[in-house]
Chain A
């Protein structure tokens, strides 16, 4: 069983703040890491799929980095907006096991 850990569990920031959170995973036998954005009552929305050590991906104000040797990925949001409020999930492995997520709340 792969242990995918996400921290922090929740985060409250002010509009305009930049923020980041972490997905940690066992570094052995790495295959791929996914980031998803999930709003309550909606389906999770794909953000990034990362496969190589050192990968950096960007989508608008959201970016992610990957370190497979030490077993972590960071998700960054620059200039947070209220519409960024959601739970951010990472998933790992061939059978797509998810972490518990980081719940982000952006206050206007």
Chain B
């Protein structure tokens, strides 16, 4: 039962570096999302996808890119890391438009120095 798998779990980046957070799900869910968690702000939606080839911006998309070439994978790219992107990132997936349980990955702790 893999569910939602995201890697890496921990990463330290220097300002200006780029990196990709990987996310994969094996439940054949159409919907996948990336959230960031900051103290006192809950989970904020970065980008989401409603199916392969379709992505859209969430609340805080600036500085991030996504793609959805397959149903299973939804990587999040940081183009030029900034200290403001220090956060915990969660990938999630769910079936249907929003009436089904969301399944989360275990989180990726990113520090930008």
Q: Which range contains the number of A residues in contact with the other chain? A: 20 to 34
**How far, in whole Å, are A42 and B88 apart by their CA atoms in the complex?**
11
Chain B residues numbered 77-107 whose CB sits less than 8 Å from any CB in chain A: 90, 92, 94, 97-102, 104-107
Q: Which A residue's beta carbon lies closest to that of B88?
A: A41
Which chain A residues border B94 with CB–CB below 8 Å?
96
Q: Which range contains the number of B residues in contact with the other chain? A: 20 to 34
At the interface, is chain A mostly helix, strand, loop or mixed? loop
**How far, in whole Å, are A105 and B79 apart by their CA atoms in the complex?**
38
B42 at the interface (CB under 8 A from A): yes
Which chain A residues border B40 with CB–CB below 8 Å?
9, 100
Question: 9 pairs across A/B with beta carbons < 8 Å?
Answer: A31-B98, A42-B106, A43-B105, A43-B106, A43-B107, A46-B101, A87-B42, A98-B42, A100-B40
Q: Could you tell me which A residues sit within 8 Å of B by CB distance?
A: 1, 6, 9, 31-32, 34, 36, 41-44, 46, 49, 51, 87, 89, 91, 93-101
Q: Could you tell me which B residues sit within 8 Å of A by CB distance?
A: 31, 33, 35, 40-45, 48, 56, 58-59, 90, 92, 94, 97-102, 104-107
